[in-house]
């Protein structure tokens, strides 16, 4: 049930802009600490560019390591924005309002960091040019457009462009509020970004129409991005573990699972750090917990299909790979941890309403999901490549190097740092959305009880 709190617009502006207009001390300290990790990652990238991929743990036949695992993970996190903003906006779910912008911004920043992974994975960055333009067009040698590796950049940058437009369109009314509450250079910057917004009926109509159109247009892109990422694996001839026809829906539902869990983690942190107790309430994480139960169960179904296909086929190579993943050190403890963390523990706890309304429990269970989903990507990528195949003329093991680990950890710091910088420049909870929710809210009496209701939008 919606436990609405009626707040005056002046209080909404003051509380949701508290960090944007005046950053507290903890903000500066956190930015400094995250900046140190980002600098360490940049130093590691510099070493990687200077020395080449030899400083990583990559070796034949495992030539895709933590960089590609992390690439898949961050692409998955990016699906949170469309799930919470586009789908729930189209379905007019009222409880979406405090979470939409955080999810949209997380989508954009996750895609930015994910897009850098293939570049870093190249080792020597100029090799990207050799990959992009290695063809002699005058002799009729053209790019193989049937390869998912060619589709990947197109899908990712289309998704990034659409998501960025989504954030900008939804941000315009709030930029006008910031324009009217600032002075000096910040007032001039916000005036330019607000693009003359005055809140006229025509402007509101165009903004709402643009939001719904972008929501609908992003849905097919949302599905295609992780489907194409899955085909990077599914079409690889030499790796038996990846020949699964359901990789596309399996990857997409797994991405939604990890993305929505990341939004829950972020909302709990926002409530704790910024003191937004009146805006992020128990009803919101309760609703997200219910949504996650459905998503996680759908993901478990596709995981069961993907895992059992090998057993049904009774192919010796596939059965040997499953034995490697489930019974061989060091993969069996990782497999068990992934299954417990990704589904068994969190979903078992989310079935309890008390857990769904506990901030601490929802924080740790949603964080646990993403630990499990990261391990899932690791178990998909590394064991499959480490199995010797007829196309591998050399067989080695994979042990991540300190350079790889530093870059991966620095990537998390990079995304969180950008989130804090965004919160300093723009509100992380949309002001206009909260005000709209209050404007459309009503109370109706049913019998002896008065319950919150919603006026139907014309």
444 dihedral zone (left: phi>0; alpha: psi -120 to 50; beta): beta
Question: Residue 87 sits in which domain range?
Answer: 61-128+142-399
Q: Which residues pair with 441 in a beta bridge?
A: 454
Q: Is the residue at 268 inside a domain?
A: yes
Per the listing, tokens 């979470």 go with: 99
What are the CA-CA distances from residue 103 to residues 32, 116, 189, 456 (Å)?
24, 20, 25, 25
DSSP readout, 245-256? Answer: TTHHHHHHHHHH
The pLDDT tens digits along the chain (458 residues) read 455 566 666 777 777 777 777 878 888 999 999 999 999 999 999 998 888 888 887 777 777 888 888 998 998 888 876 767 777 666 666 666 777 788 888 888 988 898 888 888 888 777 776 666 666 666 666 777 777 777 888 888 888 888 888 888 888 888 888 888 888 888 888 888 888 888 888 888 888 888 888 888 888 887 888 888 888 887 777 777 777 778 888 888 888 888 888 888 988 888 888 877 777 888 888 888 888 899 899 999 988 888 787 777 777 777 777 787 788 888 889 889 988 988 889 998 999 889 888 889 999 999 999 999 999 888 888 887 776 565 555 566 778 889 889 999 999 999 999 988 998 888 888 777 676 665 655 555 566 666 555 554 54
Write the CB contacts of 429 (distance below 8 Å, at least 6 apart in sequence).
16, 98, 101, 102, 270, 276, 279, 280
Cβ neighbour number for residue 447 with a 10 Å cutoff: 6
The answer as to whether 448 is a domain residue is no
Q: What is the Cα 67 distance to its own chain's centre?
A: 16
Whether residue 68 is contained in a domain is answered as yes
402-425 vs 25-51: helix axis angle to the nearest 10?
A: 140
In a domain, 78, yes or no: yes
Strand partners, 443: 452
Q: How confident is the model at residue 441, as a pLDDT?
A: 56
Q: What is the C-alpha radius of gyration for the chain, rounded to an integer number of angstroms?
A: 24
Asked if residue 25 belongs to a domain, the reply is: no
b/e per residue 379-409 (b: at least 16 CB within 10 A)? bbbbbbbbbebeebeeeeebebbebbebbbe
Q: Are 386 and 396 in contact (CB under 8 A)?
A: no
Q: Crossing angle, helix 66-77 and helix 201-234, to 10 degrees?
A: 150
Q: What pLDDT score was predicted for residue 430?
A: 79
Q: Exposure of 266 by Cβ count < 10 A (0-12 exposed, 13-18 middle, 19+ buried)?
A: buried
**With the C-alpha atoms ordered 282, 287, 288, 293, is the resulting torsion angle positive or negative?**
positive
Whether residue 217 is contained in a domain is answered as: yes
Burial profile 231-245: b = 16 or more Cβ within 10 angstroms, e = fewer: bbbbebeebbbbbbe
Residue 49: the pLDDT is 87
Counting Cβ atoms within 10 Å, is residue 83 exposed (0-12), middle (13-18) or buried (19+)? Answer: buried
How many domains, in total, are found in the chain?
1
Angle at 127 between CA 121 and CA 128, to 5 degrees: 75
HEC sequence for 358-397: CHHHHHHHHHHHHHHHHHHHHHHHHHHHHCCCCCCCCCCC
pLDDT, residue 93, reads 62
What is the sign of the dihedral through the CA atoms of 323, 324, 327 and 333? negative
Angstrom distance (rounded) from CA 355 to CA 357: 5
Tell whether 46 is covered by a domain: no
**Domain annotation covers residue 26:** no
Q: What angle do CA 36, 40, 44 make, to 5 degrees?
A: 170
At residue 43, the pLDDT reads: 93
The single residue listed with the structure tokens 């002075």 is 183
Token couple for 291: 């949504």
Among candidate residues 175, 151, 165, 66, the one with its CA nearest the CA of residue 108: 165
Say if residues 395 and 85 touch (Cβ distance below 8 Å): no
Q: Which residues have CB under 8 Å from 242's CB, separation 6+?
A: 233, 234, 236, 380, 384
């Amino acid at each position: 049930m919606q436990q609405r709190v009626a707040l005056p617009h002046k209080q909404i502006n003051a509380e949701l802009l508290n960090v944007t207009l005046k950053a507290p001390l903890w903000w500066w300290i956190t930015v400094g600490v995250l900046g140190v990790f980002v600098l360490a990652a940049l130093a590691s990238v510099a070493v990687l560019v200077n020395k080449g991929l030899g400083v990583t743990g990559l070796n034949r036949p495992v030539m895709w390591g933590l960089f590609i695992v992390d690439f898949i993970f961050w692409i998955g996190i990016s699906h949170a924005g469309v799930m919470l903003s586009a789908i729930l906006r189209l379905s007019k779910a009222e409880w979406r309002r405090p979470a939409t912008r955080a999810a949209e911004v997380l989508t954009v920043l996750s895609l930015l960091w994910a897009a850098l992974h293939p570049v870093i994975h190249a080792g020597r960055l100029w090799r990207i040019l050799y990959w992009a333009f290695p063809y002699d067009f005058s002799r009729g040698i053209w790019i193989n457009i049937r390869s998912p590796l060619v589709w990947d950049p197109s899908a990712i940058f289309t998704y990034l462009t659409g998501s960025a437009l989504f954030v900008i369109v939804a941000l315009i009314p709030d930029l006008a509020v910031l324009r009217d509450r600032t002075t000096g250079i910040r007032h001039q910057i916000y005036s330019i970004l607000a693009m003359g917004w005055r809140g006229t009926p025509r402007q509101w109509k165009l903004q709402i129409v643009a939001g719904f159109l972008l929501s609908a247009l992003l849905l097919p892109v949302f599905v295609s991005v992780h489907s194409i990422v899955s085909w990077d694996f599914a079409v690889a001839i030499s790796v038996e573990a990846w020949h699964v026809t359901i990789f596309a829906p399996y990857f997409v539902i797994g991405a939604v699972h990890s993305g929505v869990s990341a939004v829950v983690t972020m909302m709990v942190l926002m409530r704790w750090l910024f003191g937004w107790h009146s805006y992020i309430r128990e009803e919101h994480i309760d609703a997200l917990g219910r949504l996650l139960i459905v998503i996680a169960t759908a993901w478990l179904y596709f995981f069961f299909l993907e895992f059992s296909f090998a057993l049904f086929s009774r192919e010796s190579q596939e059965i040997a790979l499953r034995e490697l993943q489930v019974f061989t050190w060091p993969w069996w403890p990782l497999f068990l941890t992934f299954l417990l963390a990704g589904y068994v523990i969190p979903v078992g706890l989310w079935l309890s309403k008390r857990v769904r309304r506990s901030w601490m429990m929802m924080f740790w269970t949603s964080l646990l999901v993403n630990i499990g989903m990261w391990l899932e990507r690791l178990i998909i990528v590394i064991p499959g490549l480490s199995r010797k195949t007829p196309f591998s003329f050399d067989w080695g093991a994979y042990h991540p190097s300190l350079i790889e680990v530093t870059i991966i950890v620095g990537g998390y710091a990079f995304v969180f740092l950008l989130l804090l910088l965004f919160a300093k420049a723009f509100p992380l909870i949309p002001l206009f959305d909260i005000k709209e929710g209050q404007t459309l809210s009503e109370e109706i009496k049913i019998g002896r009880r008065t319950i919150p209701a919603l006026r139907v939008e014309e």
